[in-house]
Structure 1
Amino acid sequence: MANTYKVHFVSNRNPIVNSQGRITGFGPNLSQAQGVDIRYGEVQVTVTGAPKQGKIVPGTLRVYDEKILVEKGKAQIRGSDQMFSALHPAFVSAKTIILFAHGFFNTFSDSVERAATILSFYGIHAEIIVFSWPSAGTLIGYQHDRATSRQSGPAFARVIRRLATELAGLSSTAPRPTVHLLCHSMGNYVLRFGVQALLAQPQDTKPGETQPAVPATHLPTIFNQIILAAADEDSDAFDRQDKLKALPDLGRGVTVYYTHEDWVLTFLSAGIEFNGPRLGAGGPDNMATISDKVSAVDVSDVVPAELNMNSHQYYRLYTPVRDDEVAVLAGQAPDKIHNRAATGVPHRYRIEPAVG
């Protein structure tokens, strides 16, 4: 059975333009202003099969107009205004909204198709916004992706700030959407530099305002749940102010999924690229020194030990992990989620195989 989903996107990739001047897609490199400038849009994706596979519906890519530099007296045209106008019904009807940052080895098409398969596999009635940063979309492009993901932090921070502005603009008596953040693989590295950009500038500045001279140490709560899956990030990230120590401020809860069976993290990232111990391979270094909002969930017992990409894509392929994530997004208490077992370390759990 096939289902079609609308995927909202924000991208700091280089636009691909046809002879008529129309944007027909996005490439693997940073956009013109070193990746700080971003474009907004939407696309329809059809999802079929098991495992879920997505395919962009031809002719449905819509990139919103953007014109910031205008003549005096004329109004600017902002793609963000158009996207949040399209999302307004979801905001006022208290719908679920997921902001998704994909991992490495993703073309633009891969990223939006992946977002649609997540909605389908999770079975959540939600709107999804994918931040499509400039991944080369090749397995040998790891170093390229590492560099562009680092440079994409400020653009990701822009998206989060605008989302926060929209939420702040809602009436205190009006229904409020439930907003989650989901980051996979190197998308967590994007998140690190997004958090640092938010600390440097927590809120959008108005014309004539200056940025704070001293970086903030805390951030406003924007998300309900934050999920970090197969994070290609350092295992000490939550202990370091220059990494993700401030991240728990952004959400009511943070869940880190990890497995030592993750081939990409243990072989490619840590083994070949000589990165330190990975957050997505062993979880946080020391649960006792980090925020109590953070839970760590070991999925090793329900992810097959395979030397392929599946062990890195478990968050969207294996139902035991999916069911755990859906429970997290539904707001279930960490110690009450079905098929989780305590490990003896506070806030650290493992998913057990279903019996029968």
Structure 2
Amino acid sequence: MKHYILTNRPVQKKAGKIILKKNEGNDISSLLYYGELELSANGKATYNLIEEEPDANFQINYPMPNNAGPTMRFFRKIYNDMREITQKNSTKRDILLFIHGYGHSLEKSFKFLKELENKYVNNPDCSVGKIIMFMWPSKSHFISYSHEQDDARASGNTLANFYIKLKKFLDQYASKYQTENPDYNRGYLHVVVQSMGNLLFQQMIEKLNTNHRELVDNIFKEIILVGADIESDVFEEGHPLSNIIDYCSRVHVYYHKEDLAMKASRLRSLLTFNFRSKKPLGKTGPNDMRQLNSNIKVVDVSELEDFITADSINDLIDDKIIQHRYFMYSTKVVKDITEVLNGKHSEEIEGRRATDRSCLFRL
């Protein structure tokens, strides 16, 4: 099955093709590349990339002209693909934008995409029919952690630019198509953000809030933050994600009190003189749940003991001990997220236990 990738990883050009570099250097592309990617059963990736045009040359036209630029063509490709998928299977109407975290080589990114395909796209109970993976430069060295944070922020600015173009496409192309074709039931765009990818996503929102407030809109249906490597007070007034609900219909935050990746993150912040005053959101959940918007829901997964769906012993060791990638390797969390993506009411999702806080549930 083909999915889509966005990337600002360094590239090289060979025989007229754009190839992602495999090295883990400090390069970060100032340009964004789009493409389709297909993974074989053994995880081998085949992809084609195109380079975005300069912002000054970006245009949206309806109908699409023959000389349309690469970004317009990429957006319409996704739009048309989802229309065809919806016509064939009305339950597979949605697209999932996935933003990975710290320490992702090319091979690890491709492996994650394959796992997401297996757990969600190939799941007949899930509404997701295609995945867009944003692959940002990520190196997986302890000493590079602070540099990786810088790369995440720079990549967040790049993703903000993509958001601006997507918003214009939805306003100037998709809305006109739907006006002319009222029977077309377009699906939803969801976002799942993992680990340090949340810092990237936070930076995207900060840039949009500061420089493009007029374009802020709820173009996403569900935003899901898992193992978030950002501070736990981000939703409070005056903090970066205080208006996150302006971008979507609902937010879910998943956290695990024994997430060792979050403990390591706090240790790194001390060792790199980048101390955080608050514990990571992915370890404690929001700092003050009394201040949360009613459409922000929190799920405590600290009591999970069902890491049984990993494909290898290494995955079982990583996730049974580290407790960080439960959104792929816990059957209960996969089922819970599936129900969220399907739009089920938070209080009606099977397996959740209510608490004395209306926003907080436990699995």
1:166 alignment counterpart: 169
| Distance (Å, rounded) in 2 between the aligned partners of 1:143 and 1:158 | 24
Given residue 319 of structure 1, which amino acid in structure 2 is its aligned partner? Answer: T
Given residue 22 of structure 1, which amino acid in structure 2 is its aligned partner? Answer: K
| Distance (Å, rounded) in 1 between the aligned partners of 2:76 and 2:236 | 38
Q: For 1:48-87, what aligned pairs fall within 5 Å after superposition? A: 55-57=43-45, 60-68=46-54, 78-87=69-78
2:312 alignment counterpart: none
SS at match of 2:350: coil
Q: Contact 2:145–2:268 at 8 Å: present in 1 too?
A: no
Given residue 36 of structure 2, which amino acid in structure 1 is its aligned partner? Answer: E
Distance 1:297 1:193, change over 3 A: same
Q: Does 2:173 align with 1:178?
A: no
| Distance (Å, rounded) in 1 between the aligned partners of 2:223 and 2:209 | 18
SS at match of 2:353: strand
SS at match of 2:4: strand
- Indicate the structure with greater strand content: 1
Deviation digits for residues 255-290 of structure 1 (CA, Å, limit 9, x no counterpart) = 000011100002x11123233301011110112112
* C-alpha RMSD of matched pairs (Å): 2.7
| Distance (Å, rounded) in 1 between the aligned partners of 2:358 and 2:158 | 35
Q: CA deviation at 1:184?
A: 0.4
| Distance (Å, rounded) in 1 between the aligned partners of 2:192 and 2:355 | 24
Q: CA deviation at 1:7?
A: 2.2
Q: For 1:167-246, what aligned pairs fall within 5 Å after superposition? A: 167-168=170-171, 169-170=173-174, 171-172=178-179, 173=182, 174-202=184-212, 219-246=216-243
Given residue 255 of structure 1, which amino acid in structure 2 is its aligned partner? Answer: H
Distance 1:56 1:159, change over 3 A: farther
1:212 alignment counterpart: none
Q: CA deviation at 1:47?
A: 4.3
Deviation digits for residues 149-206 of structure 1 (CA, Å, limit 9, x no counterpart) = 011111111222233333333224232221101100011110000001111343xxxx
Q: CA deviation at 1:331?
A: 0.7
- Indicate the structure with greater helix content: 2
| Distance (Å, rounded) in 1 between the aligned partners of 2:40 and 2:195 | 24
Deviation digits for residues 35-94 of structure 1 (CA, Å, limit 9, x no counterpart) = xx211112111346xxxxxx133xx220125454999xxx98743223223212234355
SS at match of 1:223: coil
Q: Does 2:86 align with 1:89?
A: no
Q: CA deviation at 1:328?
A: 0.5
Distance 1:109 1:336, change over 3 A: same
1:210 alignment counterpart: none
Given residue 82 of structure 1, which amino acid in structure 2 is its aligned partner? Answer: R
2:62 alignment counterpart: none
Deviation digits for residues 230-269 of structure 1 (CA, Å, limit 9, x no counterpart) = 0001000101444111211111110000011100002x11
SS at match of 1:135: coil
Once the two structures are overlaid, the 10-residue window that deviates more, 188-197 or 124-133, is: 124-133
2:299 alignment counterpart: 297
Deviation digits for residues 17-42 of structure 1 (CA, Å, limit 9, x no counterpart) = 33x35322145445443xxx211112
| Distance (Å, rounded) in 2 between the aligned partners of 1:317 and 1:139 | 24
| Distance (Å, rounded) in 2 between the aligned partners of 1:69 and 1:290 | 36
| Distance (Å, rounded) in 1 between the aligned partners of 2:340 and 2:34 | 28
Q: CA deviation at 1:141?
A: 3.5
Gaps of 5+ in 1: 49-54, 203-214, 352-356
Given residue 345 of structure 2, which amino acid in structure 1 is its aligned partner? Answer: A
SS at match of 1:92: helix
Deviation digits for residues 125-164 of structure 1 (CA, Å, limit 9, x no counterpart) = 5111111111114455422321100111111112222333
Distance 1:69 1:165, change over 3 A: closer
Deviation digits for residues 314-346 of structure 1 (CA, Å, limit 9, x no counterpart) = 111110110000010011111111110012112
1:278 alignment counterpart: 280
Residue 344 of structure 1 is aligned with which of 352, 356, 359? 356
TM-score scaled to structure 1, two decimals? 0.81
Count, aligned residues: 318
1:354 alignment counterpart: none
Gaps of 5+ in 2: 58-65, 87-92, 271-275, 308-315
SS at match of 1:162: helix
1:38 alignment counterpart: 32
Q: Contact 2:194–2:228 at 8 Å: present in 1 too?
A: yes
| Distance (Å, rounded) in 2 between the aligned partners of 1:90 and 1:201 | 32
